[in-house]
Chains A and B, each alone.
Chain A
Amino acid sequence: MEIDTQFLKGSISLLLLHLLSRGELYGYEILQEASRRSANAFDFKEGTLYPALHQLEKKGQIKSEWRTAENGRKRKYYSLTPKGKKTAVAYERQWQHLTGAMAAILESK
C-alpha cells in the first residue's frame, strides 16, 4: 500500500532516529533498511532523505562521520547522539500513544 507523503513527513524523524538507534548507517543503507523492515511500504523519494538527515544533525540529534567502506568508497555514516537517543525514546512513546489513541477511535463503533 502506498503511504501518503504527508503522513511520512510527520514521521520521518521518528523513522530515522529509530533506525539509527540500532547502529550507525549511511544514507543508502537507511533507505534499504527502511524499505526492508517495512516490506517496501516506505518507498519515498530518496533525495528527500538527506535534508531530513541534515536537519536532525543540525538539531544535534545525530552526528556524522566520513569513513571508507569495505569496497573502498567513502561514505557518510550517521549515528545517534545522547540527545538523539533521548529524543528517539520520547518520539517512540508519543507515537505509541498516538497510534493507540487513533486505533481506539478507528475501531470504535
Chain B
Amino acid sequence: MSTADELIHNVVTYSQIPSSRRRREIQRELTAHIEDFIDAARDAGHEEQEIESLLMAHFGDARQVAEGFSHVYRGERRTFLVFAYALSALLIASSLLIAILAIQTSLAFGFGTSISELFASKHTVVQALDIVAFVAVYLGLTSLEALFVRYRFQKAAILLAAIGAVLTLSFRCMGYHPAFLFYGLITGVFFRAVRLFVSAEVARVGIVLVCFGFAGFGFALLRSPVSSVDLIATCASWLALGMGYLLMSRLAPRVDAAVLNRLQQI
C-alpha cells in the first residue's frame, strides 16, 4: 500500500462513517486531491520520495482529518448505531425465545406437564418480554462499555441501572408494572459479570446451573401445593433458560458485530 493509499485508508477508517457509499465518495475525493498534489509536485521538480514527505506534511494528520469527518457525520453514526443495536437485540432475542420455548416444550412433553400452560398467552408474553429485556441489557452493557476506559463494566452497569430506573418510573407513571425491566437488568448484569470475571467455560456453566437451578427450585416452591414432577420440570425449565442465556452471552457480541458489519456494507 502506498503512502497516499494508507493515508486515505486511515482517514476513511477512523472517520467511522456508517454509509459505505459516503466512505467511497470521500475516498474518491481524497484520491483526486492527492493525484493533483502529486502532479503539481512533479511539475515543480520534486523527487518521488520527497513528494511523499511533502504530501504527509501538507495533508495533515489522518486521525485529525478523520475526526473532522466524524464530527460532520456524528448524527448519522448515532442513528445507525441505535438501529444496529435494536436490530441485533431483536434478532438475538427472537432466536433465543424460539430456542428456549423449543427446549421447554420438549421438557414439558417429557415430564407430562401441561403444554397449554406453557403456551398460555400470559406465560409466553412474560417470557418474551423477559428475554427481550435481558438481551437489550446485555447488548446495552457491551455497547456502553466501549464508552469508558477504566472500570468499564461497573460504569456501564451503573449507567444502565440509571436508565432502567428512569424507564421503570415512566412505566409506573403510565400505570404499568415493568417487572421484566428489573429481571432484564439483573440477568443481563449477572451474565455479563460471569462472562467477564469467570475465565473457564466449565466454571461459567457450573455457576449458571447452580444459580438457575436454585431460582427454579425457589419459584416452584412458591406455587403450593407442588408435585415432585412439577418441581423437577420447573427446575429443568429454568436450567434450560440459564443455558440459553449463557449461550446467548457467548454469541451476542459476534451477532452484533456481524449485523454492524453487514449494515455498513449496505
Interface, chain A (partner B; CB < 8 A): 26-28, 45-48, 50-52, 54-55, 58, 66, 73-76
Binds A, one of B60-68, B131-139, B159-167, B215-223: B60-68
Contacts of B60 in A (CB 8 A): 45-48
Q: For the complex, what is the distance from the CA of A16 to the CA of B71, rounded to whole Å?
A: 18
- Point out the residue from B11, B35, B69 that lies within 8 Å of A73, measured CB to CB: B35
Tell me if A54 and B33 are in contact (CB < 8 A).
no
Known: A28-B37, A45-B58. A73 touches B68 (CB 8 A): no
11 extra interface residue pairs, beta carbon distance < 8 Å, beyond A54-B72, A74-B32: A27-B29, A27-B33, A28-B32, A28-B33, A46-B37, A47-B68, A51-B68, A51-B72, A55-B71, A73-B35, A73-B36
Q: List 8 A-B contacts (CB under 8 A).
A: A45-B61, A45-B64, A46-B33, A46-B58, A46-B59, A50-B26, A50-B30, A54-B73
- B68 touching A28 by the CB < 8 A rule? no
B28 interface hit (Cβ, 8 Å): yes
Contact indicator A73/B29 (Cβ below 8 Å) = no
Q: Which residue of B lies closest to A74 (CB)?
A: B32
> Across the interface, do B32 and A26 meet the contact criterion of CB distance under 8 Å?
yes
Q: Is the contact region of chain B dominated by helix, strand, or loop, or is it mixed? A: helix
B68 touches A52 (CB 8 A): yes
- With A28-B37, A54-B72, A55-B72: A47-B32 Cβ-Cβ less than 8 Å: no
Complex CA–CA separation, A41 to B234 (angstroms): 78
Cα–Cα, bound, A76→B58 (Å): 20
Contact A50 B65 (CB under 8 A): yes
Q: Do residues B59 and A51 form an inter-chain contact, with CB atoms below 8 A? A: no
Residues from chain B with a CB closer than 8 A to the CB of A76 are 25, 28-29, 32
* B32 pairs with A48, CB closer than 8 A: no
Cross-chain contact A58 with B72 (CB below 8 angstroms): yes
Closest B residue, CB atoms, query A45 = B60
Question: Which listed residue (A26, A28, A47, A66) contacts B11, Cβ 8 A?
Answer: A47
CB distance from B2 to the nearest CB of A (A): 16
B29–A47 CB distance below 8 A: no
Provide the bound-state CA to CA distance between A52 and B68, in Å. Answer: 8
In the complex, residue of chain A having the shortest beta-carbon distance to the beta carbon of B39: A71
Which residue from chain B places its CB closest to the CB of A27 in the assembled complex?
B33
Complexed CA–CA distance, A66 and B62 (Å): 24
Which residues of the partner chain B approach A51 to less than 8 Å between Cβ atoms?
A: 65, 68-69, 71-72
A48/B65 in contact, CB under 8 A: yes
| Beta-carbon contact of B72 and A73 below 8 Å | no
Whole-angstrom CA separation of A66 from B26 in the bound complex? 12
- Which residues of B from 3 to 52 have beta carbons under 8 Å from A? 11, 25-26, 28-30, 32-33, 35-37
Residues from chain A with Cβ under 8 Å of B61 in the complex: 45, 47
Chain A residues with Cβ below 8 Å from B68 are 47-48, 50-52
